[in-house]
Amino acid sequence: MTLPLHAPGGLGFVAAVSIAIVIGDSLTVRANAGPTTTALTVVAEPVGIKDVRIAHETLTIDLRPVATGGMAKVKATYELRNDGGEQELDLLFAFGSLDNSDCVVTLNEKSIFGTLKKTPMPKDWMPPAVTPGLAGTVALSYGGGWSSVIPLLFSIVLPSGPSKLTVSYRAGVKHTFARPAMFRQFAYMLAPARSWAGFGRLDLKIHTPRGWSVATTPKLQQVGALLKGTFDDVPADAIAVTLRPPVASSYQTVKNASRLFFVLIGISGAAVCWRAGGAKSGRDFLNFVRSAGIGLAYGIVVFISGMIATWGPDQIFPMTAAERLLVDSLGLSDGYATLAAMAGVLLSSLAASTVGCVIVQARPAPRA
């Protein structure tokens, strides 16, 4: 049987069901509440040698595997110039994973192997505090809670003149929970390149998943899913990237409209309460009961509209199955944001009930 809203108890029934749904959902969220982000890992240029300069660097960062939950692929080729005699050098690398796995290093086409070295993290490896915001979003926190790594130490013999050092490895990205799609963040520290005797040119390419939104600092030229740039010096302390799977352009429109709907309900409801206050009878008790009933109805309407404004857009634009699976595998959630939103809606509805009752009581009855 369908219970219409204008039937006795109809509005209360809808509110009761809504409250039951919210409380049930909140208990589920509390049971599954987890971190809102994954930890970041350090990805950086090697700490340099004062007597050797980088004449040219080619850096390629492939973020396409991130679309399927994989790690980024990084390859850097350094054309080194040693203007002195043959040198025995120690180079420190951070390869973007806690165990520095999946790294390949060659010097003049010959493989070299490193050893883990427990040493304080170089200051130049400190990640940026934020990565840039995408269109319509603010910059995202990045540097807090960064994971320390044990660097790899490579002892090499660098001949006089030019040499080519090539490194390739996989690096983790940071995931930040958001609906209907998470943000992915990545940063590559360039600051260590300044510790070399000199730095020539940097040719940079970043491959991103096709169709994804992306923002970088410094700004790069975008050609389809490829970002590229050429710099005559170290352009910044770090290359910071934020990217996200496609989100319907109407998502933000629906979100803004739902918030406006909530505000209009609040204003129009107060106006209705004021209008209803003009129909008082001469009995104070009956007036109070009537005022309390109207205030309660106002609070219920505010509660329902608050539910719609808070959760409606995410029900219309849910996460994809693949995104939901990745969120679960990472153990991420919105933390206690859902509980906070529910508390806000409940408090708003209680405040509306009280204010509605006061408004009805405050308006004087018309004179006979």
What are the extents of the domains in the chain?
10-32+249-362, 43-244
pLDDT digits (tens, 9 = 90+) for 156-204: 888 999 999 999 988 889 999 998 999 999 999 898 888 888 999 999 9
Q: What is the pLDDT of residue 38?
A: 59
Tokens at 278, concatenated: 């003009």
DSSP string, 113-168: --EE---PPPGGGPPPSEE---TTSPPEE-STTPBP--PEEEEEEEPSEEEEEEEE
Residue 135: exposed, middle, or buried by beta-carbon count in 10 A (0-12, 13-18, 19+)? exposed
pLDDT digits (tens, 9 = 90+) for 26-79: 332 323 344 565 555 567 667 656 688 999 999 999 999 999 999 999 999 999
How far is Cα 351 from Cα 365, in angstroms, rounded to an integer?
Answer: 24
Q: What is the pLDDT of residue 27?
A: 31
State the angle between helix axes of 284-316 and 337-362 in degrees (0 to 180), rounded to the nearest 10. 150
HSE (CB half, 13 Å, CA atoms) of 105? Answer: 18
Our measurement of the distance from residue 67's CA atom to the centroid of its chain's CA atoms, rounded to an integer in Å, reads 15
How far is Cα 66 from Cα 149, in angstroms, rounded to an integer?
Answer: 21
CA angle 190, 220, 138 (to 5 degrees): 85
The pTM score is 0.77
Q: What is the pLDDT of residue 92?
A: 79
Q: Is residue 82 a contact partner of residue 103, using CB atoms and an 8 Å limit?
A: no
In the predicted model, residues of the chain with pLDDT beneath 70 are 1-42, 44-45, 47-50, 96-101, 118-121, 136, 144-150, 278-283, 365-368
Percentages helix, strand, coil for the chain (3-state, rounded to 5) are 35, 30, 35
Q: What is the pLDDT of residue 322?
A: 92
> What are the two backbone dihedrals, phi and then psi, of residue 149, each rounded to the nearest 5 degrees?
-125, 160
Give the SS3 label for residue 299.
helix
Tokens at 234, concatenated: 């170290």
DSSP string, 211-275: T-EEEEES--EEETTEEEEEESS---SEEEEEEE----THHHHHHHHHHHHHHHHHHHHHHHHHH
| Domain covering 43-244, topology | Immunoglobulin-like (2.60.40)
Q: What is the pLDDT of residue 368?
A: 52
Q: Which of 333, 341, 331 is nearest to 29 (CA)?
A: 333
211: left (phi > 0), else alpha (psi -120 to 50), else beta?
A: left
What are the C-alpha distances in Å from 6 to residues 14, 80, 260, 290, 308?
11, 80, 25, 17, 20
